[in-house]
A and B are shown apart, each in its own frame.
Chain A
């Protein structure tokens, strides 16, 4: 049971580089989410996808784009990385809005 799988687990980028974070879930969940968590802080929603084919902005979408490639996969792209985007990124999925979300184990991203 893989659940939610994120790749890569660690990445170091230089300012201005681009990168795509991958997320895949095998639970046939409808909704998927991207969060960031800065040291000592809570989770902040970047983007979410309520269902295949739809995406919506969360609390902190600036500097990011997303693609819901199919029901299983939801990617997060940084077009021009900035040091302020250094963070841990978590992907989550859920079947319905009344259920708890399941998280991947995160991508630790450092931007120099």
Chain B
């Protein structure tokens, strides 16, 4: 089992749609969680951190379920500019091991 697993994608959605990305992690001692966005041939950029209580930033909502070892990202009212690859990232416990998921590609169409 991979340490961090994401939906394989790609997701193809129309503008205005709501899309959800899922991610599971295997190390129950993991301490911190993030969603990154990566545009084609560019560096990954932090989209948002994921907190236990869940958090929202505009059209983006992140959730963490520690019991199920599950992280989600919800994008509402999708824009063409949301087209990118979304990476789930998990920081290990007590060390410097950061695990990046393989990413889920999103295409938003007009």
Contact = CB atoms under 8 A, between A and B. Distances in A.
A100 interface: yes
Nearest to A106: B43
A56 B97 CA distance: 11
A98 B101 contact: no
A104 B43 contact: yes
B89 interface: yes
A14 B98 CA distance: 32
B91 A97 contact: yes
Contact of B44 (A43, A45, A97): A43
Interface residues of A, number: 23
A31 B32 contact: no
A99 B94 CA distance: 12
Contact of B98 (A88, A101, A104, A105): A101
Contacts of B34: 100
B101 A42 contact: yes
A108 B40 CA distance: 13
B52 interface: no
Contacts of A108: 41
Interface string B20-48: 00000000000110101000011111100
A100 B49 contact: yes
Contacts of A43: 44, 87, 100
A88 B41 CA distance: 8
6 contacts: A42-B87, A42-B102, A97-B91, A100-B46, A101-B98, A103-B43
Interface of B: 31-32, 34, 36, 41-46, 49, 87, 89, 91-92, 94-98, 100-103
Q: Name the 10 nearest CB pairs between A and B, nearest first.
A: A42-B102, A103-B43, A43-B100, A98-B32, A100-B46, A50-B96, A100-B34, A105-B43, A97-B96, A103-B44
Given A41-B102, A42-B100, A97-B95, 12 more contacts: A42-B102, A42-B103, A48-B96, A50-B96, A56-B96, A90-B44, A97-B31, A98-B31, A100-B36, A101-B98, A103-B45, A106-B42
